[in-house]
Structure 1
Amino acid sequence: MKVSAEQPFEIIYSLFSHEYLGLLFESFVIQLDEKGRLSLAHQNISSVNAKEFAAGLDDTDYQLIKMMDEMQQDAVTKKLNTKKLKAKEYLRKIYDPKTGNKAAQEMLELKLEGLRSKILEKLKGKRLFEMANDGNPIWKEICIMPEPASVLFHFRRNEDNTHYFPTIKYRGEKLDWQYKNAYLICNEPAWLVADGALYHFAKGVDGKKLSPFLNKRFIVIPRKVEQQYYEKFVTQLVASFDVYAKGFEIKVERNQPEAVLNLSDLPGSPKVDLFGNSQAESEEDKIVFDLKFQYGEYAFRAEDGAKTNVKLEQNGDEYTFHKVIRDGIKEKSYGDYLKNLGLPVRASRFALEKSKAFGWLNTYKDDLIAQGFQIQQATDAKGKKYFFGHAKISVDVKENIDWFDVNAVIEFGPYKIPFAKIRKLLLQGKTEFELPNKEIAVIPDSWFVNYTEIFAFLEDDPTLDAGALKLKKHHIALAQELQSNNLVQLTLSRKLEKLRDFSQIEDYELPEAFQGTLRPYQKAGYNWLRFLNEYQFGGCLADDMGLGKTVQTLALLAYQKEVNPGTTTLLIMPTSLIYNWELEAQKFTPSLKVLVYTGSQRVKDHTKFADYDLILTSYGITRLDMEVFKSFYFNYVILDESQAIKNPSSIIAKSVAELNCRFKLILTGTPVENGTMDLWSQMNFINTGLLGNQSMFKKQFLLPIEKKNDVDKAVKLHAMIKPFILRRLKTQVATDLPEKVIHVKYSSMSSEQEKAYEEIKSYYREKIVNELTAPGTKNQQFTLLRGLTQLRQVANHPKLIDRTYEGDSGKLEDVIHMLRETASEGHKVLVFSQFVRHLGIVKEFLDEEKIPYAYLDGTTKDRQAQVKSFQENDDVKIFLISLKAGGVGLNLTKAEYVFLLDPWWNPAVEAQAIDRAHRIGQENKVIIYKFITRNSVEEKIMALQERKKALAGELISTEESFMKSLSQDDIEALLD
């Protein structure tokens, strides 16, 4: 019968019995009569038509309608009815008494039971009816009781049996519900309809515990199954519900829990490789922490979450149920406390490596006891008993003349253990040993973390008292770091204490023989080198490129000539740097007698070294003439570009390690290029043993830092090397730098390059000399300009004039090396050349190495995009620019370095290129490198320019004016 949404109506819910599916709910709208009463006019309401009656529905109604739709026979069978039978036919088939499908029945019942439970929870405040057999949805109203009823289960034990039955109370009144046609709508949890009212229950009573008694007063439990019934059923009932018993006793305990932390062994498992083979290194044994709670005589594991536990005690014919009501809030507070201490005992158990476990226990034992924890050890099958007392280590380090004396005291409770025994165990990575009382002491993991390095570096000294040990002085930083963490007592002289911060080192006078002025940061570097010399420490001067490592070193060598006359220093470097060092030594330390030990004509006689203050040689020559160098005792051995020995297994690294000297020093702008082992190789050269041997360093530092990202290890390594590495970035010393710093970088030609250069030089020398005797100068100037241009191109790279050339170029090697160095230091660099093809060669290298760069020559159309890329993209560190395209009109204030790949006739044009970087808005100091090929026309042009400028007092402005200024002697000199 159609209901009008325009007239008054009410939504009701009706309960009916389906022949297969049991009790189901259905939703209806009922038209109200003129007096507001429910009429016989009604219609089913579903999610499809619910919106028509929106005025009379709330959110709960919509939810109830949706759930009731889901429990109707068509909806509930849809997923299971794969053959698309009619719902009634499908249900008849699966519920057939002979051929029915029990599994499908169970699935349907599970689904419907869940829906009934959800619907009943939401029916409070709604109207519920029983449906009549004729389909009238409002046949009999069911009153939904708002409060939960309570159930009391009764047991009456007598000589023959036990009677069991439940009683129900609502609002304190006993409910008469048996033999009254009462029925259960839902079992989990129970919802009972009795005498026209719907009841639900406190404590989530299961309907199956009530259904046997709908038409039965009690259940009889015979004596022969009594014990089994009590153990399996009654204990669960006593634990969860209120029980009244006669004939046996129920004792209820409500004690405060006592937290017990139980420790037991968990053996480690051997590690296996990819092929299943056992490895030598095994996983460390673990300790399992098991949290339990003791209530009187009864203990419960934390993972057992039941609020109430019942234990059955049988004494002859007597039964006693012990009911323990647990304090969940208190138990949680114990678990949270452990979690805050770093022991998250999820599900009551937590395993830690044995040394970490006892380290944790050593740290927090007193706090645990103060909080009321008991600490117990589980019985070990081997009878092993652990020491749970306090473990203590104290280390005293005192400065001696040439080393540190180290004294250590180890205590486990009342026992003092010889330090040598613990040191041996620490180095072997072993964690436990037996105390005199037969208890097993476990070394806390913090000792491994804090002391392994210093114990590894200790040395036995037979001249000292028994058990005394010494530590080399270059391990001062390690001792200082341990002192700062209150791990050792360290006694230092006031002077050595200053090594903690080199800025506090005293100011030393520069030697009289040093011809130059040091900038403030360079003077600080010189002071640092002097301090290291005083304490016979090796050092690594690792300033940024262009900050003057050479001049600081020469100042030190000038001082050495004053205080150690007659001694000789060996300075080893890449071949390309030798000439630069020679020129710098002539400029700043002209009093030093310098021997350049290179070339095929070198005299391989070590006795000649004593005649010189400074020997300059290359890594290649050192490798070849190792026996010559080993035969001489040098004052200093200095390595420039020391990353050359970054691979400790290389021949050169092994060779320089065999050199004999009093002091060692290394110079590099990039101490670490590939990995942490680069550092070990160089540090081991300057201070042998500073970082232990190679295998120890790999285990202690390299693997933890590179494989596990161990920040603590990285910090410790940095602290150990910090006193012996001085690194200043250009940004740090900007205030000490002038606006522009110009360096000349001399490069040596490769043998193939030199051959190509000589061929061209010979050709033009003959041609020009012949033309000089002929009348007229125009042809002479043209030939001279062409010849000089070709010579300059070959000085850069022979490929500039001969595309078939397959050899290399000394200048290109130097440019590439310095580009790598500036980029690795994070600096931006402008690279200028007047030859586009020269830029192309550099460009090829950058493309091969996949190094991003910006590029600008006369053919570039997106000039501004290239400038923006260099100025704004942090990944673009290099900008290649041709002189004509980029000499003017660019604002490149992000550049910190300018590389001039070839000298120009016109110094004013050169200055313009530099000013692309050095201009208003530039916050960085600009360092300029001019690359000049040795023994080439480039070097001679530069010398001529300086001379002409000095004589004429004016700049040579053009190529033509330069040519006109050349005399015949000048021309012959250029082509010599």
Structure 2
Amino acid sequence: MNRPSHSTPAPSSDTLAPALFVSPSGRFHLDPGTGEAVASLPPRIHAAFERDALAGLLQLGASELATPLPPSLAFGRELAHLFMARLCATPDLAAQWDSLELAAPQAELARLLAGMPPMVGAEYVDLACLSTLWDDLLGQARAQIALSDGDVAAWLAHQHPSWNLLGRVCFHLAENKANPDVPFAFLATYAATVSQQAKVQHLPLGRALQEYAGEANSEALLRLLMPVHKASEQCPWLAALVASGAIFHARAWSPREAHQFLQNVPLFEANGIVVRIPDWWRPSQPVRPQVRVNLGEKAAGLGLGAMLDFNVSYALGEETLSDAEWAELRAAGSGLVRLKGRWVEVDQARLDTVLAHWKQVQRGIDDGGDGVSFLEGMRLLAGVGAEGAASPALDAAGADWSRVVAGDWLRGVLDELTDPARAGRLEDAARPGAELKAQLRPYQQDGVRWLYLLNRLGLGGCLADDMGLGKTVQVLALLLLAKRGGDPGPHLLVLPASLIGNWQAEMARFAPGLTVLVAHPSALPSKALAALPAERYGEVDVVLTSYGSLTRLPALRETRWSIVVLDEAQAIKNPGAQQTRAVKQLHSRVRFALSGTPVENHLGDLWSLFDFICPGLLGGAKAFGAFVKRLEQGEHAAYAPLRNLVRPYILRRLKSDKRIIADLPDKTEVKAYCALSHAQVGLYQAAVQALQEQLGALDGIARRGMVLASLMRFKQICNHPAQWSGDGDYAPEGSGKFARLREIAEEIAARQEKVLVFTQFQEMTAPLHDFLRTVFGRAGLVLHGATPVKARKNLVEQFQQESGPPFFVLSIKAGGTGLNLTAASHVIHFDRWWNPAVENQASDRAYRIGQKKNVLVHKFICRGTIEEKIDALIEAKQGLSNEILEGGAETRLTEMSNDELIRMVSLDIHSAALEK
């Protein structure tokens, strides 16, 4: 089993534990772990997953019922165990097997989904995915039973004794409305025969003593009663029924006895006993009266400082109980109580504890007079305590007897945040109009509404759309809306240095009405930048800076910003890093983060991110760390409250979502601007000087040859100094392109997507492969002119497999035509051919018939170099006849005058230099 792709280099530690992960197609797989950690799972589990992922899940759910498992595998077991329980609850399973249809239980699957623990690829899992998996598990069970000669009983017995048909004892509980003193009836039966109509016929369990009388049948009787015996070992009152023989006769039961039975239903089912109970009782969610806390019927103020009103009432389901009905409950005692025409479960001690707790909270709020803080209210609403863990005042059992609900104001806000399409009343206010020089797609309009609402409320958020879905243009629309709405800024955008050029170009293209200052050495000399007064920042709408510059320019941290936006916000995932601390020192009204990686699936990263966008929401670092540790040790029920807590502040759309992809063009091209390292700057300037010195001494063919050689040298220097020097030292820090490649590849790896990387130089294919291997944590493929023709088909087949290599490095001459590589949804042109037709042919290895995903093409361009100027030249000629560039841009450059050529190749040092 290949390890899934990760967004960071493969760790050298030998403690990486086994875990489930989900591929982009929605299939579950096992990452077996590394080193000694592999042994933390029994070999039989590894063996099952090596046969097939579905076989592995069935192994977990059918056979590993008591095996300690890490959270992701425990989730897989719970899912498969639900499948097995529903399968074995089918009456006369063996007789119906050939025609069996087992519908996926949507409510139960939704419950599982809500509590899904973090795992790689969790963003691909939804109800449709789990429903498909349910059907696949049935198919896997059919295949396994076919290998057992179709013997369902033998297969179940092989999985675990609890699934075997010998456990066909059934406990029945029914209402007996004729007798109010003993309003319930209990009967134990067994499946005696199967009728000609394939219906199971039940007989009282007492008949089994007659049916299996005699020494010859004692073993059969023992098999039949074994589940009852096993359950009685854990249930004293059942043991008493068995010992007295009362289990073999019908019994009239009081509400107390019926309640005692209902509380033990999970125990009976776990031991293989079939249970039939009234449909008003759900073992996982019994009907109970609850103390209901209503938060945010109205609010005082906005943002993190808003105060929410707080009211305590009583409820039964969605129905409010009057004081008189609550008093009636209190008088009825504990157990099953008849209320408003139905039986409900009452635990007076727990209700009293819960009520006292919330009354104490309400008294404290009334004394303060202002209500509950917005952050505390959100934690209470999600079921998470003040320090990011379950409320210390209420244990899990007590919490089941109370419910916190959102009032009208808060519910309206949360509905709009969790589903921006609902924010219809913001439709006009959240449209940037003609100021934005772009046509927003529907999902982008939803994103702008979401950002606009958070900004208006004074709350932060994380826009976590997939790469290529247009996070930049949505943020620009927000900034234009803020300017139109009277918010003069200034606003701050903090980016990786390699993205400053991209943002400058996008702002000039889509939002030319915004005034911009670039606080970075690529735009201003370092000394001038350091001397820039803080007042200067207030004279523009937007300031662009890098994470590195933020640590070096105190004025940025002293300025009061209106909106601060972090791009590639995973840069602050390490709370102790210098740039993270600098970012969190910023003063702003609202904070947003942009990230294309699934931050909600990495709890440590999640805390650091929310400590920036919504400080205090997840509590302190120490308390949250303890909370995570408890989750990892088995308190999995807290995953759902945590997800509910952060959900309103994360907006994530995937390219794989059909509602999104249907609206996207088939192929999107973006320019990935790169800076130069200091070594590249020195080599490039020396190459310009050498060209200038030689131009005057040559003409004709000699001049043309010298120019072409110089252009090749510029390309090689822009790629990596080692390509020009030939010394083989391809250290990543030596090249700005490698830095940009890492940023893009990490996001692709985190999404478990695949990428084609094209270069025109065969000698670059191996260094690129070795570098990408550290990013993806596994090897990729390489194809160039020296690759044997017979080997190419095998390389393509490997790449096209879902579990195949995640990246493919190709020379553009050898791999630019004739290959079908639709497994890739990204194409990177590491260096440019300077001929659009050739590049398009290469991109079309992924964008062709059979491609079901949007293809994102990244074209690398070094700022301030000939690469940027040639790109501008090509752009200017795109509307003209293709023949103009048919010979390639190199040919046109050789025809320029000496002065024109030097201007074309000269280096803009401020724009090109690589700074953090």
Specify the alignment match of 2:576 in structure 1.
649
C-alpha distance in 2 between matches for 1:903 and 1:460: 69
Match among 232, 236, 247 for residue 291 of structure 1: 236
Asked if the contact 2:312–2:359 (Cα under 8 Å) also holds between the matched residues in 1, the reply is no
For the structure 1 residues 202 and 758, does the alpha-carbon distance in structure 2 shift closer, same or farther, using more than 3 Å as the test? closer
Asked if the contact 1:623–1:651 (Cα under 8 Å) also holds between the matched residues in 2, the reply is yes
C-alpha distance in 1 between matches for 2:582 and 2:697: 53
Deviation of 1:327 after TM superposition, in Å, equals 3.5
2:649 aligned with 1:724, yes or no?
Answer: yes
Specify the alignment match of 1:488 in structure 2.
404
C-alpha distance in 2 between matches for 1:474 and 1:736: 39
Q: Which amino acid aligns with 2:434?
A: E
Matches for 1:229-244 after TM superposition, within 5 Å = none
Structure 2 residue runs of 5 or longer lacking an equivalent are 1-212, 217-231, 272-280, 301-305, 316-322, 325-346, 385-398, 907-916
C-alpha distance in 2 between matches for 1:878 and 1:365: 47
Q: Which amino acid aligns with 1:396?
A: N
Matches for 1:440-451 after TM superposition, within 5 Å = none
Deviation of 1:856 after TM superposition, in Å, equals 1.0
Asked if the contact 2:766–2:782 (Cα under 8 Å) also holds between the matched residues in 1, the reply is no
Asked if the contact 2:307–2:371 (Cα under 8 Å) also holds between the matched residues in 1, the reply is no
Q: Deviations over 1:84-119 (max 9, x none)?
A: xxxxxxxxxxxxxxxxxxxxxxxxxxxxxxxxxxxx
Specify the alignment match of 1:874 in structure 2.
803
Deviation of 1:410 after TM superposition, in Å, equals 9.7
1:516 aligned counterpart, secondary structure: coil
Asked if the contact 1:797–1:838 (Cα under 8 Å) also holds between the matched residues in 2, the reply is no
2:818 aligned with 1:863, yes or no?
Answer: no
2:903 aligned with 1:903, yes or no?
Answer: no
Q: Deviations over 1:548-575 (max 9, x none)?
A: 1111111111111222353200111111
C-alpha distance in 2 between matches for 1:583 and 1:290: 71
C-alpha distance in 2 between matches for 1:345 and 1:830: 52
2:252 aligned with 1:327, yes or no?
Answer: no
C-alpha distance in 2 between matches for 1:446 and 1:743: 59
Q: Deviations over 1:266-304 (max 9, x none)?
A: xxxxxxxxxxxxxxxxxxxxxx997359xxxxxxx749x
2:449 aligned counterpart, secondary structure: helix
Matches for 1:267-306 after TM superposition, within 5 Å = 291=236, 302=240
Asked if the contact 2:830–2:860 (Cα under 8 Å) also holds between the matched residues in 1, the reply is yes
2:653 aligned with 1:735, yes or no?
Answer: no
Specify the alignment match of 1:397 in structure 2.
295
2:560 aligned with 1:610, yes or no?
Answer: no
Between Structure 1 and Structure 2, whose CA radius of gyration is higher?
1
Q: Which amino acid aligns with 1:327?
A: A
C-alpha distance in 2 between matches for 1:517 and 1:740: 17
Match among 512, 525, 532 for residue 434 of structure 2: 512
2:516 aligned with 1:598, yes or no?
Answer: no
Asked if the contact 1:362–1:444 (Cα under 8 Å) also holds between the matched residues in 2, the reply is no
Specify the alignment match of 1:946 in structure 2.
875
Q: Which amino acid aligns with 2:735?
A: S
Which stretch of the first structure deviates more once superposed, 529-538 or 611-620?
A: 529-538
C-alpha distance in 2 between matches for 1:756 and 1:455: 73
C-alpha distance in 2 between matches for 1:364 and 1:944: 67
Structure 1 residue runs of 5 or longer lacking an equivalent are 1-200, 205-261, 263-287, 294-300, 308-324, 348-360, 368-389, 417-439
Asked if the contact 1:290–1:345 (Cα under 8 Å) also holds between the matched residues in 2, the reply is no
Match among 671, 674, 682 for residue 744 of structure 1: 671
Specify the alignment match of 1:637 in structure 2.
564
Specify the alignment match of 1:479 in structure 2.
381
For the structure 1 residues 474 and 668, does the alpha-carbon distance in structure 2 shift closer, same or farther, using more than 3 Å as the test? farther
Match among 429, 448, 452 for residue 530 of structure 1: 452
Match among 587, 599, 620 for residue 509 of structure 2: 587
Q: Aligned Cα RMSD in Å? A: 4.3
Deviation of 1:833 after TM superposition, in Å, equals 0.7
Superposition TM-score, scaled by structure 1 size: 0.55
1:929 aligned counterpart, secondary structure: strand
Specify the alignment match of 1:377 in structure 2.
none
C-alpha distance in 2 between matches for 1:545 and 1:365: 40
2:719 aligned with 1:796, yes or no?
Answer: yes
2:612 aligned with 1:667, yes or no?
Answer: no
Q: Which amino acid aligns with 1:337?
A: F
Specify the alignment match of 2:47 in structure 1.
none
For the structure 1 residues 860 and 785, does the alpha-carbon distance in structure 2 shift closer, same or farther, using more than 3 Å as the test? same
Deviation of 1:446 after TM superposition, in Å, equals 11
Asked if the contact 2:290–2:401 (Cα under 8 Å) also holds between the matched residues in 1, the reply is no
Deviation of 1:468 after TM superposition, in Å, equals 7.7
Report the structure, 1 or 2, having the larger strand content. 1
For the structure 1 residues 365 and 692, does the alpha-carbon distance in structure 2 shift closer, same or farther, using more than 3 Å as the test? closer
C-alpha distance in 2 between matches for 1:970 and 1:708: 68
Match among 618, 627, 635 for residue 691 of structure 1: 618
C-alpha distance in 2 between matches for 1:753 and 1:562: 43
Deviation of 1:537 after TM superposition, in Å, equals 1.6
2:870 aligned with 1:973, yes or no?
Answer: no
Asked if the contact 2:375–2:617 (Cα under 8 Å) also holds between the matched residues in 1, the reply is no
Q: Which amino acid aligns with 1:397?
A: L
Deviation of 1:407 after TM superposition, in Å, equals 3.2
Asked if the contact 2:263–2:283 (Cα under 8 Å) also holds between the matched residues in 1, the reply is no
Matches for 1:251-400 after TM superposition, within 5 Å = 291=236, 302=240, 326-327=245-246, 329=248, 337=261, 340-342=264-266, 393-399=291-297, 400=299
Specify the alignment match of 1:766 in structure 2.
693
Q: Which amino acid aligns with 2:714?
A: L
C-alpha distance in 2 between matches for 1:948 and 1:606: 42
Asked if the contact 1:671–1:679 (Cα under 8 Å) also holds between the matched residues in 2, the reply is no
Deviation of 1:461 after TM superposition, in Å, equals 7.5
Q: Deviations over 1:619-639 (max 9, x none)?
A: 11212224x223221111111
| Greater than 6 Å deviation, 4+ residue runs | 201-204, 331-336, 344-347, 361-367, 444-448, 458-462, 480-486
Q: RCO higher in 1 or 2 (8 Å CA, sep ≥ 6)?
A: 2
Matches for 1:380-459 after TM superposition, within 5 Å = 393-399=291-297, 400-401=299-300, 402-408=306-312
Deviation of 1:952 after TM superposition, in Å, equals 6.4
For the structure 1 residues 734 and 410, does the alpha-carbon distance in structure 2 shift closer, same or farther, using more than 3 Å as the test? closer
Deviation of 1:489 after TM superposition, in Å, equals 4.3
Give the share of equivalent positions with the same residue, in percent. Answer: 32
C-alpha distance in 2 between matches for 1:362 and 1:834: 65
For the structure 1 residues 477 and 589, does the alpha-carbon distance in structure 2 shift closer, same or farther, using more than 3 Å as the test? farther
Specify the alignment match of 1:935 in structure 2.
864
Asked if the contact 1:568–1:612 (Cα under 8 Å) also holds between the matched residues in 2, the reply is yes
2:856 aligned counterpart, secondary structure: strand
C-alpha distance in 2 between matches for 1:459 and 1:823: 49
Matches for 1:39-118 after TM superposition, within 5 Å = none
C-alpha distance in 1 between matches for 2:671 and 2:633: 44
Deviation of 1:929 after TM superposition, in Å, equals 0.6
Asked if the contact 2:482–2:488 (Cα under 8 Å) also holds between the matched residues in 1, the reply is no
Deviation of 1:660 after TM superposition, in Å, equals 1.2
1:611 aligned counterpart, secondary structure: coil
2:434 aligned counterpart, secondary structure: coil
Q: Deviations over 1:206-235 (max 9, x none)?
A: xxxxxxxxxxxxxxxxxxxxxxxxxxxxxx
Specify the alignment match of 1:957 in structure 2.
886
For the structure 1 residues 812 and 346, does the alpha-carbon distance in structure 2 shift closer, same or farther, using more than 3 Å as the test? closer
Deviation of 1:466 after TM superposition, in Å, equals 5.9
C-alpha distance in 2 between matches for 1:408 and 1:675: 36
Asked if the contact 2:893–2:901 (Cα under 8 Å) also holds between the matched residues in 1, the reply is no
C-alpha distance in 1 between matches for 2:379 and 2:246: 53
Match among 744, 751, 760 for residue 825 of structure 1: 751
Asked if the contact 2:294–2:405 (Cα under 8 Å) also holds between the matched residues in 1, the reply is yes
Q: Which amino acid aligns with 2:670?
A: H
C-alpha distance in 2 between matches for 1:784 and 1:653: 46
For the structure 1 residues 930 and 337, does the alpha-carbon distance in structure 2 shift closer, same or farther, using more than 3 Å as the test? same
Deviation of 1:698 after TM superposition, in Å, equals 2.9
Specify the alignment match of 2:640 in structure 1.
715
Asked if the contact 1:475–1:720 (Cα under 8 Å) also holds between the matched residues in 2, the reply is no
1:512 aligned counterpart, secondary structure: helix
For the structure 1 residues 793 and 662, does the alpha-carbon distance in structure 2 shift closer, same or farther, using more than 3 Å as the test? same
Asked if the contact 1:502–1:723 (Cα under 8 Å) also holds between the matched residues in 2, the reply is no
C-alpha distance in 1 between matches for 2:879 and 2:292: 72
Q: Which amino acid aligns with 2:901?
A: I
